[in-house]
């Protein structure tokens, strides 16, 4: 079994009753009070908390608030992009967002990641690799089905216009241009 966890340096703050903690948050965010003033207010409420503990807690509060604001801004941008590009693959966009968030979480959770058993880390890595392989397999299958449908449509159309050689040649040109556009769209 692992080592027992060391108590957080700001644990006293989290032990405060919800109404008092809400008062601390309000004084930090809305009133922009100094730490000394908030510590004095807490003492008046009957709670002894150090200024350094309050400082660490405030840092986490403001860091969380900034992260939420950043996430809201990113979400608004993504919604705007999707609105302007209705053909955008939202599954792929969502996957990219989740991957980005996971990478941020991993990069900022060094201690938790270091304490993660290697077997669990390996399973997570394998799950990510499987998800990526599934996405590629689905993309390939979808593209292959579209190519087969396009080939069948081309054969059917050419069979219909075979008696008109000029029209058949024009149809082949149009179909080749369409294939080129589809191939180029896959690259973008």
> Do 139 and 74 reside in the same domain of the chain?
no
pLDDT digits (tens, 9 = 90+) for 35-68: 999 999 999 999 999 999 899 888 888 888 888 8
Residue 178 has pLDDT above 70, yes or no: yes
> Do 68 and 127 reside in the same domain of the chain?
no
Alpha carbons 188 and 185: distance in angstroms, whole number: 5
Domain termination site, one of 42, 62, 84: 84
| Strands of 16-153, DSSP E | none
Cβ neighbours around 143 below 10 Å, total:
13
Asked, for residue 111, whether it belongs to a domain, the answer is: no
Asked, for residue 3, whether it belongs to a domain, the answer is: no
Domain termination site, one of 41, 66, 84: 84
Residue 4 has pLDDT above 60, yes or no: no
Asked, for residue 1, whether it belongs to a domain, the answer is: no
Domain termination site, one of 41, 67, 84: 84
Check the CA dihedral 35-36-39-40 and report its sign. negative
> Do 69 and 122 reside in the same domain of the chain?
no
pTM above 0.75, yes or no: no
Q: Quote the mean pLDDT of the chain.
A: 82
Asked, for residue 38, whether it belongs to a domain, the answer is: yes
Asked, for residue 179, whether it belongs to a domain, the answer is: yes
pLDDT digits (tens, 9 = 90+) for 100-141: 777 777 667 666 767 778 888 888 888 988 988 998 999 888
Q: Which domain does 158 fall in, by range?
A: 117-188
What's the confidence (pLDDT) of residue 3? 57
């Amino acid at each position: 079994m692992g080592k027992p966890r060391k108590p957080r340096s700001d644990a006293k703050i989290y032990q405060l009753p919800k109404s008092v903690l809400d008062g601390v948050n309000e004084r930090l965010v809305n009133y922009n009070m100094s730490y000394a003033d908030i510590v004095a207010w807490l003492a008046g409420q009957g709670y002894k908390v150090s200024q350094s503990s309050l400082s660490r807690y405030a840092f986490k509060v403001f860091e969380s608030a900034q992260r939420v604001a950043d996430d809201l801004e990113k979400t608004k941008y993504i919604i705007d992009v999707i609105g302007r590009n209705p053909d955008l693959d939202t599954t792929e966009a969502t996957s990219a967002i989740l991957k980005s968030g996971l990478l941020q979480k991993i990069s900022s959770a060094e201690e938790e990641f270091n304490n993660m058993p290697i077997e669990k880390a390996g399973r997570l890595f394998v799950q990510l690799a499987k998800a990526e392989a599934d996405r590629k397999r689905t993309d390939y299958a979808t593209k292959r089905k579209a190519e087969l449908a396009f080939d069948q449509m081309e054969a059917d159309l050419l069979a219909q216009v075979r008696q008109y050689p000029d029209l058949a040649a024009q149809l082949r040109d149009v179909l080749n241009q369409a294939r080129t556009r589809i191939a180029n769209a896959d690259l973008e």
